[in-house]
Amino acid sequence: MDRLRQRADFLAVASGARINRAAFLLQSRRRDDDGPIRVGFTVTKKNGTATERNRIRRRLRELVKRLDVLSMRPHSDYVLVGRRAALTCDFATMLDDLRSALHRLDRQPFTRVMPAVTELNDETLNDVR
């Protein structure tokens, strides 16, 4: 399992499926290549001071370390967006939430991401119809 590090990868995952939980938001996107599963972590400044954000990020990383890889889709990217509740939430509860979120993502059918309305022209509209 690899890490997401480039902004373009985070933005690509943001256009995929998402599952909300109390302590985090899980975003997912299936890739077309045969690469490994990649996971990224992000915590915004509104979640507290740098030490609090780092603690949230560390807890999220530990969640993924303790998770079995089989529960994640192969050839996919995941982003965990930390929330302030991750500081006080019970770790076992967070781990159960992550497992249930991944299970919910598995039940969702794979859908092709449609381009934005401004990017559509007559040719792509004919392909969609």
Looking at residue 91, its pLDDT comes to 96
Contacts for 59 with CB less than 8 Å, ≥ 6 apart: 82, 86, 87, 91, 94
What are the structural domains of the chain?
Answer: 2-128 (3.30.230.10)
Helix, strand, or coil here: 28? Answer: strand
Q: pTM of this prediction?
A: 0.81
CB 59 within 8 A of CB 49: no
Looking at residue 47, its pLDDT comes to 96
Give the C-alpha separation, 100 to 103, whole Å.
Answer: 5
Mean pLDDT by 10 residues, the chain (129 residues): 94 95 96 92 96 97 91 92 97 96 84 48 49
